[in-house]
Structure 1
Amino acid sequence: MMGDAMIEALIFDKDGTLFDFRLSWGAWTRALLAELGDSDGLLARVLGYDGARNDFAPDSPVIAMTTPEIADILLPHLPGMALDTLLARMNQLAADAPMVPAVDLPAVLGALKARGLKLGLATNDTEVPARRHLAGAGVLELFDFVVGCDSGYGGKPAPGQLLGFVAHCGLTPARVAMVGDSLHDLDAGRAAGMKAVAVLTGIATRGDLAPHADVVLANISGLAEWIDGLAAA
């Protein structure tokens, strides 16, 4: 039970927070580049992706931008391709991408849910792949609210998705924490009036995130201890 804990709900980013970013989205990026025929490496550079190291530049659009925003960046380098065609392939590849959980998600999220916490997901991915990824990890049923950039709430760093969670579940923003691995996540949390929790399972470093967060955790398995610390303060 929550008792007098200050946090009554958590809303998570997906990629880099629930799932290891490099291991999961490296595979998606490689598949997309192969399908688009990136023989000279131009598109990889546009995406800030180093295939040899399976790593992303800190400012890679793949890290925080919405799927339509990434498509807009790629399209000028793809003469003859329609935007709708590109978006459809990106979304299908995302849905099929092999997501690698950052922690034991059923155990960690199940324990948080057992405390009586409401759980939400706000991602700049689109909603259908997001739901498929959660289902594949065996945790979709634990979430009270799941939205993507195409769900009608906009995308991060704007707070629309987070405020949608608050409205849907009847929450008080100050008693909710946004949990994410990027400045987009933390800025969205601040804009929504929530606490901002950073995790280090994405690309950004502790130094990048700490000035924008209430706390920086190695991964989401540290959330229960952090919540208990707030309640005891």
Structure 2
Amino acid sequence: MRTVIFDLDGTLADTSGDLIAAANACFRRMGEGDVLDAGRDAAVALRGGRMMLTHGLKRLGRFDAGVVDRFYPVLLDAYAQAIDTHTTFYPGALAAVAELRARGYGVGICTNKPEALAQQLLENLGVREAFDSLVGADTLPVRKPDPAPLREAARRAGGDPARCLLVGDSDTDRDTARAAGVPSVLVSFGPAGDDMAALDPEALLTHFDHLPDLADRLLGRNRAAAGA
């Protein structure tokens, strides 16, 4: 089976608002108030918790790696308490997932979000059953850009890891796909969308409506032969 594997944050859903709220909860505990802004810092948020803490501390002129390490668990706890307040799926994302499954693809998620948090978010949003697999940052001993999590997500979705593609929003996703020897499709509608073309993916995605046909092309699926 061919599979389409998605990154989560910044690819399927805009999770930046809830991530920034969790980071700001940490900065308030440091006595600094809200340091990050949902509009200005969305791209930073989608790079993960440690990046948000690092960015905020540098903005304050008090970066300390030890402070990042100490507050990272605090951030994860704050995020878990309000994980889906502002999060929304990008237009057409769930319809594209449904169409891919209708065309016979396995569909999974490979994210650098901790697996339990990714599971919680998808369950809270009522969409966990739409995906055949979920591999998080701590599912395996390694995370993206190591190719092992992508390959595992394809296997758990019932597919051949050599016949998958990764849909993502960053150089990490592009590098993961290249390491696995499979195509990458990078979304151009996220906060860092203007930077995606320079990463030279196999394709850019301007709207999820185009993804099923892109998958057919990149994975060499003949719809007529498949009876689609």
- TM-score band by shorter chain is 0.7 to 0.9
Identify if the C-alpha distance between structure 1 residues 101 and 168 changes in structure 2 by more than 3 Å, giving closer, same or farther. Answer: closer
Aligned counterpart, 1:157: 145
Among all aligned residue pairs of Structure 1 and Structure 2, give the percentage whose two residues are the same amino acid.
Answer: 28
Q: 1:63 aligns with which of 25, 46, 49?
A: 46
Cα drift, residue 232 of structure 1? 5.6
Matches within 5 A, 1:154-193: 154-169=142-157, 171-193=159-181
Q: 1:139 to 1:33 in 2, by over 3 A?
A: same
Does the alignment pair 1:145 with 2:105?
Answer: no
Using the TM superposition, give the Cα deviation of residue 100 of structure 1 relative to its aligned residue in structure 2, in angstroms: 1.6
- Closer, same or farther in 2 for the Cα pair 1:204/1:115, shift >3 Å? same
User: Does the 8 Å contact 1:15/1:202 carry over to 2?
Assistant: no
What is the aligned partner in structure 1 of residue 27 from structure 2? 33
Output the TM-score relative to the length of structure 1.
0.74
Higher relative contact order (CA 8 A, sep 6+): 1
8 Å contact from structure 2 (residues 147, 176) kept in 1: yes
Which letter does structure 2 place at the counterpart of 1:34? Answer: R
Deviation (angstroms), 1:118: 1.0
Unpaired segments ≥5 residues, structure 1: 1-6
Larger displacement relative to structure 2 (125-134 or 169-178): 169-178
Closer, same or farther: CA 135–156 of 1 in aligned 2, 3 Å: same
Q: CA deviation at 1:143?
A: 1.5
Of residues 122, 146, 150 in structure 2, which corresponds to 1:134? Answer: 122
For structure 2, the 5+ residue unaligned runs are: 58-62, 224-228
Work out whether residues 188 and 204 of structure 2, in 8 Å CA contact, stay in contact via their aligned partners in 1: yes
Could you tell which deviates more after superposition, 131-140 or 205-214? 205-214
State whether residues 187 and 193 of structure 2, in contact with CA within 8 Å, keep that contact through their aligned partners in structure 1.
Answer: no
Which of 4, 10, 20 aligns to 1:10? It is 4
Q: How far did residue 218 of structure 1 move?
A: 1.5
Number of aligned residues: 211
Instruction: Give the equivalent residue in structure 2 for 1:119.
Output: 107
Residue identity matched to 1:155: R
Question: What is the match of residue 108 of structure 1?
Answer: 96
How far, CA to CA, are the matches of 1:154 and 1:38 in structure 2? 34
Tell me the CA shift for residue 35 of structure 1.
4.0
Q: 1:221 to 1:90 in 2, by over 3 A?
A: farther
Q: State the secondary structure of the residue aligned to 1:54.
A: coil
**Normalising by structure 2, what TM-score?**
0.76
Query: Is residue 21–residue 202 contact of structure 1 (8 Å, CA) maintained in 2?
Result: no
How far is the alpha carbon of 1:29 from its aligned partner? 3.5
Cα deviation digits, residues 63-99 of structure 1 (max 9, x gap) = 335x4x54984683776x973xx33322223332331
Match of 1:20 in 2: 14
Q: Give the match's secondary structure for 1:179.
A: strand
Distance in 2 (CA, whole Å) between partners of 1:201 and 1:33 is 29
